[in-house]
Structure 1
Amino acid sequence: MKNFIFLMLIASNVFGADNSQIVKVFDGTAAKCVTKQDANQHKMGVYSLELINTKVTEDNVYVTVKMKNFQCKRTFTGYRFVPVSAYQTLEYFDFNQDLIKAKPLRVSFRSYVDGQYDLLTDRLAADKMEQVFRLKYNRSDVDFGAKTIDIDFWINKNVAFSRNDVHLFNDSVAFGSYRLKIKK
């Protein structure tokens, strides 16, 4: 039996030379894509965040991360996570078998300092399957004297929902967070 588990956390427990780590902190650590039920559960898609690099200077904190977007779909060999654009229109059938379309209008990559909750980053994501974000923070905005600098990242989508091509409503859909821990 094939049991494919897509780890939402690609860089889990991987420390670089600069003692940085990124961990999944909200809505679980993994999503599986094995059955139709899994495809339904993750119909709005999933994403992974990979830590590329961090650098801390006296005045700034530099972070480079790679975001990848996926959707659980049925393929010739079973259900699999396949790469999709962050703006991929998602289609599924509701309990009445009406076609529901969820079209992302705006996809934001956001960050804040753990415990502070002041928005630090609100970057518009590109219409791509994966994207690299190079971020620069003023150290005084993210370093509060603790042993680590903790920055949380998440994705927010503004989505237009329609049933049988009739607009229903717009909604904001937030995806789980990752926390970057930089040891000083």
Structure 2
Amino acid sequence: MNKLSLIALSLFSISFSYALETVKVFDGTERTCESEKDIFLNRNGAYRAKALKSEMNDQQVELTVKFEFLTCAKTDEGYKFVQIDPYSNTEYKIHALDGEIQTVNVLPINGYLKAYQDGVFKLIDRKELAFKAVQNHVVQIDLKDLKQKPSIDLAVSKEVILDSVDTQIIDTIRYGAFRVHFDVKETGASLKEVK
């Protein structure tokens, strides 16, 4: 069984190796890639995220997060998730109203990682996604924001053109969000340890 867990961000501090608390706050917890049906269910892709470290820089916390963008595909070894550039054009099939099968081309326009202050939904940082399947991003968080609420939400989304014989529309694909918790002190913040 080939499963991809999209919830568990394994978070590690730069100076410690311990599990940290991360809670999925939007949509499902797990994606599978075991059949043709999963190719359709994962037609917009998926991603994994791993927080690599957090560091203090003056009055800012810098959180480094690694992202891996994936798609479900049929390979010589069977169905499995494979890495894909988030800006790659993809396609899927649908049944049109007249019963014909149509191809929908998915043409990415742009993609973003956004960090929000938990519960307040204040935009803290926004990064444009790179043209790579695996990419690191450094999210800058003001220490004063973490003192108000010691957690942030990370969310990935991209705007795409959905192009078929009958229609062409612009849509936003939201891939879900992760919540990252911090231990906050007067002089700094670090990723929170899971008990």
* TM-score over 0.5 for the pair: yes
Matches within 5 A, 1:32-181: 32-56=32-56, 59-95=59-95, 96-144=100-148, 149-164=150-165, 168-181=168-181
2: CA distance, partners of 1:80 / 1:168 = 30
Tell me the secondary structure at the aligned position of residue 132 of structure 2.
Answer: coil
Aligned AA (2:43): K
Inter-partner Cα distance in structure 2 for 1:35 and 1:125: 29
Q: Which runs of 5+ in 2 are unaligned?
A: 185-195
Residue segments in structure 1 that go unaligned for 5+ positions in a row = none
* Separation of aligned partners in 2, 1:172 and 1:59: 34
SS state of the match for residue 145, structure 2?
helix
Post-superposition Cα deviations, 1:51-106, rounded to whole Å, max 9, x if no partner, equal 10012467221100001100001111211000000101110111131110011100
Within 1, Cα distance between the matches of 2:35 and 2:173? Answer: 23
- Report SS of the residue matched to 1:126: coil
Q: In 2, are the aligned partners of 1:18 and 1:54 still within 8 Å (CA)?
A: no
CA 1:15–1:134 in structure 2 vs 1: closer, same or farther (change >3 Å)?
A: closer
Contact map agreement 2:124 2:140 (CA 8 A) in 1: no
Indicate if the aligned counterparts of 2:3 and 2:33 stay in contact, CA closer than 8 A: yes
Deviation at 1:36, TM superposition (A): 1.1
Would the aligned equivalents of 2:12 and 2:52 in 1 still touch at CA under 8 Å? no
Task: Supply the distance in 1 between the matched residues of 2:34 and 2:142 (Cα, whole angstroms).
Answer: 43
TM-score between the two structures when normalised by the length of structure 1:
0.88
Question: Normalization by structure 2: what TM-score?
Answer: 0.83
Q: CA deviation at 1:15?
A: 5.3
What is the match of residue 191 of structure 2? none
**Residue type of the alignment partner of 2:173:** V
Asked whether 1:5 is paired with 2:3, we answer yes
Match of 2:29 in 1: 29
What is the alpha-carbon root mean square deviation over aligned residues?
2.0
Identity %: 24
Q: Distance in 1 between matches of 2:151 and 2:65?
A: 15
2: distance between equivalents of 1:18 and 1:54?
12
